């Protein structure tokens, strides 16, 4: 173990992906299922547009996926805390297989229409509403607390690997027809489902009281009581909401850099490559100290790189800026996800991760809307500059609105201590921050 200026580098720590069989299976399952959905996104969007030639209906596909998430996420968190998480994910993936299989049959039979795609997108969105928070909540069930930062980095690498492989593979297979994409997606989902089923969980989830509205809202109450978690989740919300330069990449490729579709492919790949490489670095050299410093530095780099991308007229410089956007975003994502997981009791992981997923989903959807609206008003360049500067402003504001987040030295928030009352419902008691 090496320590440099408060930044502990843990190169000597065993690789959790190599030593923990169950986490390794979860990691591979995440790659397969995320790759499958990246391919499905390509195929469904293309097929909808070919069928309707209507940009509005193309936008409805995203809305059909988002509405179930908005309505079901809090319920999904309660389910993840009450029932066996491994089986929840398995069932969700079987449902997803069935939906994609239906799309495959309708496509092969020549019967598919736009409303079939919208219904399928809604069911897939509902299933993912249960699967995603359960998947995140399952990580602390499989690894020890000191392994969570490394596990978070590996999870980020899985997501970024799928973000690179999925669209490229989907686009390639789409040349042979959407039915080929659907068949491949079903195979990937089945592999993921049986990997999930083979996982051996270290720690069983504690059974909770009967499902009620009070129990359902416990996740929200917990988030708003724990300022470090509220600050972390809301920081993610506003940083993504304002810094959504990727939504405008087609405009930059066509009108600013004048590269056309081949340049758009490079622009879309650059942030994913930066994110993947940085996540691999963090799996070996994990941040264990001076957490707040690295969190806000990464946000500053994210905002400045967004501004650099906006003003660039050179493709190489734009690719460098997007690479930095992806790399810095992963640093903040790993820190934020680790903060949430380490400061949340295991029996609350599902509900808190559901709230987190709701914030992330909202910021992604609204971020694209905000970027498009601003670009329509001011142009893509000015809109992206405003977004980058907005991210910097949010970072500064959050340093003062959430002093506990600004003063975090390690991942553990000592400003609260957990109490376990007789009824078993976790509560919080405020105590002064311990100074060492």
pLDDT digits 0-9 by tens, 144-155 = 777 777 787 788
Rounded to the nearest integer, the mean pLDDT of the chain is: 77
Let me know: does 357 contact 72? Beta carbons within 8 Å: no
pLDDT digits (tens, 9 = 90+) for 264-299: 667 777 888 888 888 888 877 777 777 788 888 888
Residue 370 has what pLDDT?
63
Q: Check the CA dihedral 128-133-134-140 and report its sign.
A: positive
pLDDT digits (tens, 9 = 90+) for 226-247: 777 788 777 777 776 776 666 6
Residue 433 has what pLDDT?
35
Does 92 or 384 have the greater pLDDT score? 92
Residue 244 has what pLDDT?
65
41-59 b/e (C-beta count within 10 Å ≥ 16 → b): bbbbbbbbeeeeeeeebbe
Residue 97 has what pLDDT?
95
pLDDT digits (tens, 9 = 90+) for 424-436: 444 444 333 333 3
Cα separation, 177 vs 51, whole angstroms? 13
N- to C-terminal Cα separation, the chain: 21
Report, as an integer, the average pLDDT of 414-429: 46
3-class DSSP string for the chain = CEEECCEEECCCCCCHHHHCHHHHHHHHHHHHHHHHHHHHHHHHHHHHHHHHCCHHHHHHHHHHHHHHHHHHHHHHHHHHHHCCHHHHHHHHHHHHHHHHHHHHHHHHHCCCCHHHHHHHHHHHHHHHHHHHHHHHHHHHHHCCHHHHHHHHHHHHHHHHHHHHHHHHHHHHHHCCCHHHHHHHHHHHHHHHHHHHHCCCCCCCCCCCCCCCHHHHCHHHHHHHHCHHHHHHHHHHHHHHHHCCHHHHHHHHHHHHCCCHHHHHHHHHHHHHHHHHHHHHHHHHCCCCCCHHHHHHHHHHHHHHHHHHHHHCCCHHHHHHHHHHHHHHHHHHHHHHHHHHHHCCCHHHHHHHHHHHHHHHHHHHHHHHHHHHHHHHHHCHHHHHHHHHHHHHHHHHHHHHHCHHHHCCCCCCCCCEEEECCCCCCCEEEECCCCCC
Is the per-residue pLDDT at 158 higher than 70?
A: yes
Report, as an integer, the average pLDDT of 74-91: 83
Report, as an integer, the average pLDDT of 14-22: 77
- 26-30, 75-79, 247-251, 336-340: the lowest-pLDDT one: 247-251
CA atoms within 13 A on the CB side of 302: 34
324 band by pLDDT with thresholds 50, 70 and 90: very high
Cα separation, 408 vs 289, whole angstroms? 9
Give percent of the chain with pLDDT exceeding 90. 15
Residue 176 has what pLDDT?
87
Give percent of the chain with pLDDT exceeding 70. 79
320 band by pLDDT with thresholds 50, 70 and 90: very high
- 74-78, 91-95, 425-429: the lowest-pLDDT one: 425-429
């Amino acid at each position: 173990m090496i320590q440099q200026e408060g930044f502990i580098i843990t190169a000597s720590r065993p690789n959790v992906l190599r030593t923990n069989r169950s986490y390794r299976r979860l990691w591979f399952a995440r790659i397969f299922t995320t790759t499958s959905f990246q391919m499905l996104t390509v195929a469904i969007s293309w097929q909808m547009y070919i069928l309707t030639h209507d940009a509005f209906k193309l936008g409805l596909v995203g809305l059909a996926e988002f509405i179930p998430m908005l309505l079901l996420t809090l319920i999904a968190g309660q389910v993840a805390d009450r029932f066996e998480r491994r089986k929840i994910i398995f069932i969700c993936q079987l449902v997803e297989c069935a939906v994609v299989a239906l799309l495959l049959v309708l496509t092969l039979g020549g019967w598919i229409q736009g409303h079939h795609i919208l219904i399928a997108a809604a069911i897939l969105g509902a299933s993912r509403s249960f699967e995603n928070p359960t998947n995140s909540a399952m990580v602390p069930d499989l690894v020890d607390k000191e392994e969570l930062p490394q596990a978070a980095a590996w999870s980020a690498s899985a997501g970024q690997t799928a973000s690179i492989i999925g669209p490229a593979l989907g686009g390639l297979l789409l040349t042979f027809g959407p039915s080929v994409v659907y068949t491949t997606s079903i195979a990937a989902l089945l592999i993921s489902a049986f990997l999930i089923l083979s996982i051996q969980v270290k720690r069983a989830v504690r059974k909770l009281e009967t499902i009620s509205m009070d129990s359902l809202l416990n996740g929200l109450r917990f988030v708003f009581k724990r300022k470090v978690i509220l600050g972390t989740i809301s920081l993610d919300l506003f940083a993504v909401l304002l810094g959504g330069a990727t939504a405008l990449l087609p405009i930059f490729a066509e009108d600013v850099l004048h590269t056309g579709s081949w340049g758009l492919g490079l622009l879309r790949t650059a942030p994913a490559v930066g994110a993947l490489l940085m996540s691999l670095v963090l799996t070996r050299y994990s941040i264990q100290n001076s957490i707040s410093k690295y969190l806000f530095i990464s946000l500053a780099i994210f905002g400045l790189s967004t501004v650099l991308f906006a003003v660039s007229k050179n493709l190489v410089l734009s690719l460098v800026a997007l690479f930095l956007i992806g790399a810095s975003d992963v640093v903040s994502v790993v820190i934020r996800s680790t903060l949430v997981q380490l400061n949340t009791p295991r029996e609350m992981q599902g509900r808190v991760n559901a709230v987190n997923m709701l914030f992330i989903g909202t910021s992604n959807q609204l971020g694209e809307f905000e970027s498009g609206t601003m670009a329509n008003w001011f142009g893509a360049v000015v809109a992206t500059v405003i977004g980058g500067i907005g991210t910097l402003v949010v970072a500064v504001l959050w340093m003062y609105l959430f002093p506990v987040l600004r003063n975090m030295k390690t991942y553990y928030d000592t400003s609260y201590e957990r109490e376990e009352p007789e009824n078993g419902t976790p509560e919080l008691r405020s105590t002064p921050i311990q100074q060492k």
